[in-house]
Structure 1
Amino acid sequence: MKVNKSIACSVNECKYHAKNESYCSLDHINIVKHEARARNQEATDCGSFETE
């Protein structure tokens, strides 16, 4: 699995987590929001997440 050192990640339940390092293996990720206007970190998520 390749490691993308531009995308740090600690969510090891994701199928794109680089397992042996705390990075993502995707070339890019999609960030999504839960509200019309994101005002804090909790209002956003990684839309590229998929479970293993």
Structure 2
Amino acid sequence: MKINKSIGCTVNECKYHAKEDSFCSLDHINVVKHHDRANSVEATDCGSFEVGK
């Protein structure tokens, strides 16, 4: 698995988490919002998240 040091990640439950380091292995991620207007951290999420095995 390659590590993308441009995308930090501490969600080790994600399929794309670079297990040996706190980074993502994707080339890019998709950030999504939960409401029409995102005005807080809690209003957004990583839409690229998938549960790992």
- TM-score normalized by the length of structure 1: 0.99
Question: Identity, % of aligned pairs?
Answer: 73
For 2:44, the equivalent position in structure 1 comes to 44
Amino acid at match of 2:29: I
Structure 2: where are the runs of 5+ without partners? none
In 1, the alpha carbon distance for the partners of 2:18 and 2:2 equals: 7
Q: How many residues get paired?
A: 52
TM norm structure 2: 0.97
Structure 1: any 5+ residue segments left out of the alignment? none
C-alpha root-mean-square deviation of aligned residues, in Å? Answer: 0.2
Q: Return structure 1 stretches of 4+ with deviation > 2 angstroms.
A: none
